């Protein structure tokens, strides 16, 4: 066949803070229990940062691990794509902080705000830049620090028990594909959004959309508008539906079946969501790799973090066909198929 210019993953890295918060530890802030959390989410523990750690700090560690995995020097990076909903500061973007900490000035740094779908949106962006020949090597990072922005009271527990801090990164490089059945490459990505449901999962403040006319004021803090809010039932049912639809369409487009796929890596929002998607698509449970039990929901970091763990455990190996899917605030959702 005629060679195709594609992107492939050549390195994977991740990082989580040392501080582990088990479900029972949350009792010091709210009325909850290990049994209540595990039954509803599958989460047993999560990692939270120290006060001095920022999102770009976590991203730096994951990026360095990905570069080591790839056997590449940081000077080879042409572009940074940074997916996060919890930036170091309102502006500038965390990609600029990461670029400075890596010591690779002048290359472009792009922040994207697709929340739980952020990594797959970023994967699609990196893939397209590489396919067009604009860049050869892209650092894609998903990193989050949720622990500094949660309502740690009984009122906020439905959301707060879900989230952890962490970062995952991959290095994507250009490759010429002549044999899709054997070579590593990003086969397909599919992106979706429906802003009609934006306020089913959101943090209202700070922002210019607040009716008071202020970016942030004392009343917003009193009302808790800066804490994340979620319609759990709507998010759950929409996630199962949309992830299943998108992944099915991706497999159909690539003319492969569930049986052809060696491993599935889903966004880690709720273990019950991933189990429902697997059941709906008749995916054997052993083909779905989950990490939410130990990390909670790290939004944009969940898929690369899972990828790192799957490689470390020997579950994900070179040559495997991998299906990915995510759903999150926006609503946004996405899917992808790649040969690792």
Same domain for 242 and 129: no
Q: Which residue range forms the structural domain that includes residue 123?
A: 4-177
320: Cβ contacts below 8 Å, ≥ 6 apart: 262, 263, 339, 340
Count other C-beta atoms under 10 Å from residue 68's C-beta: 12
Same domain for 142 and 224: no
Helices (H), the chain: 34-41, 55-70, 94-102, 118-132, 157-160, 218-223, 232-253, 271-280, 292-295, 302-312
Instruction: Indicate if the pLDDT at residue 2 is higher than 90.
Output: no
Exactly one of 6, 23, 96, 267 is catalytic; which is it? 267
Q: What is the pLDDT of residue 17?
A: 98
As for how many domains the chain has, the answer is 2
Q: What is the pLDDT of residue 3?
A: 82
Hey, what are 202's tokens? 């959101």
Nearest-10 crossing angle of helices 34-41, 271-280: 30
Exactly one of 6, 116, 146, 290 is catalytic; which is it? 116
The DSSP 8-state label assigned to residue 168 in this structure reads E
Same domain for 235 and 310: yes
Same domain for 195 and 157: no
Percent of the chain, pLDDT > 90? Answer: 97
Same domain for 101 and 214: no
Last residue in a domain, options 177, 210, 244: 177
Same domain for 190 and 132: no
Average pLDDT over the chain reads 97
How confident is the model over 252-276, as pLDDT tens digits?
A: 999 999 999 999 999 999 999 999 9
- For residue 210, list its beta bridge partners: none
Instruction: Indicate if the pLDDT at residue 1 is higher than 90.
Output: no
At 256 the three-state DSSP class reads: coil
Interval 168-173 mean pLDDT? 98
Same domain for 137 and 40: yes
37: Cβ contacts below 8 Å, ≥ 6 apart: 23, 26, 43, 44, 161
Same domain for 287 and 221: yes
Same domain for 173 and 68: yes
How confident is the model over 270-326, as pLDDT tens digits?
A: 999 999 999 999 999 999 999 999 999 999 999 999 999 999 999 999 999 999 999
Instruction: Indicate if the pLDDT at residue 68 is higher than 90.
Output: yes
Same domain for 146 and 227: no
270 is catalytic: no
Secondary structure, 3-state, 287-325:
HECCCHHHHCECHHHHHHHHHHHHHHCCCCCCCCEEEEE
Strand pairing report for 201-202 and 185-193: unpaired
Exposure letters 283-321 (e unless 16+ CB within 10 A, then b): beeeebbbbbebbbbbbbbbbbbbbbbbbeeebbeeeeb
Last residue in a domain, options 147, 177, 207: 177
Q: What is the pLDDT of residue 213?
A: 87
116 is catalytic: yes
297 is catalytic: yes
Instruction: Indicate if the pLDDT at residue 94 is higher than 80.
Output: yes
Same domain for 173 and 28: yes
- Look up the CATH number of the domain holding residue 156: 3.40.47.10
Last residue in a domain, options 177, 204, 227: 177
Asked if 145 and 49 touch (Cβ cutoff 8 Å), the reply is: yes
Q: What is the pLDDT of residue 29?
A: 96
How confident is the model over 186-245, as pLDDT tens digits?
A: 999 999 999 999 999 999 999 999 998 899 999 999 999 999 999 999 999 999 999 999
Interval 61-81 mean pLDDT? 98
Percent of the chain, pLDDT > 70? Answer: 100
Same domain for 330 and 193: yes
């Amino acid at each position: 066949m005629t060679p195709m210019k594609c992107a492939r993953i050549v390195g994977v890295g991740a990082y989580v803070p040392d501080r582990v918060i088990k479900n029972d530890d949350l009792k010091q802030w709210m009325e909850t229990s290990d049994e209540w959390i595990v039954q509803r989410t599958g989460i047993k523990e999560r990692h939270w940062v120290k006060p001095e750690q920022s999102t770009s700090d976590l991203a730096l560690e994951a990026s360095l691990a990905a570069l080591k995995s790839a056997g590449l020097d940081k000077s080879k990076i042409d572009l940074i794509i940074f997916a996060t909903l919890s930036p170091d500061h309102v502006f500038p973007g965390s990609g600029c902080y990461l670029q400075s900490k890596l010591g690779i000035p002048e290359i472009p740094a792009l922040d994207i705000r697709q929340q739980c779908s952020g990594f797959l949106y970023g994967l699609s962006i990196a893939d397209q830049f590489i396919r067009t020949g604009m860049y050869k090597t892209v650092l894609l990072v998903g990193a989050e620090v949720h622990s500094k922005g949660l309502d740690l009271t009984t009122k906020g527990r439905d959301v707060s028990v879900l989230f952890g801090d962490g970062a995952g990164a991959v290095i994507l490089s250009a490759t010429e594909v002549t044999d899709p059945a054997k070579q590593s490459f990003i086969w397909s990505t599919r992106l979706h959004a429906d802003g009609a449901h934006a306020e089913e999962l959101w943090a209202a403040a700070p922002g210019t959309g607040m009716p008071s006319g202020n970016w942030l004021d004392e009343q917003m803090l009193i009302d808790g508008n800066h804490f994340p809010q979620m319609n759990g039932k709507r998010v759950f049912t929409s996630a199962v539906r949309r992830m299943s639809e998108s992944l099915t369409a991706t497999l159909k487009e690539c003319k492969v079946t569930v049986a052809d796929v060696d491993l599935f890596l889903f966004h880690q929002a709720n273990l019950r969501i991933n189990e429902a998607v697997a059941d709906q698509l008749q995916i054997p449970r052993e083909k779905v790799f989950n990490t939410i039990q130990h990390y909670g929901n790290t939004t944009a970091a969940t898929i690369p973090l899972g990828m790192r763990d799957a490689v470390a455990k020997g579950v994900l190996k070179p040559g495997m066909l991998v299906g990915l899917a995510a759903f999150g605030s926006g609503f946004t959702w996405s899917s992808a198929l790649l040969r690792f």
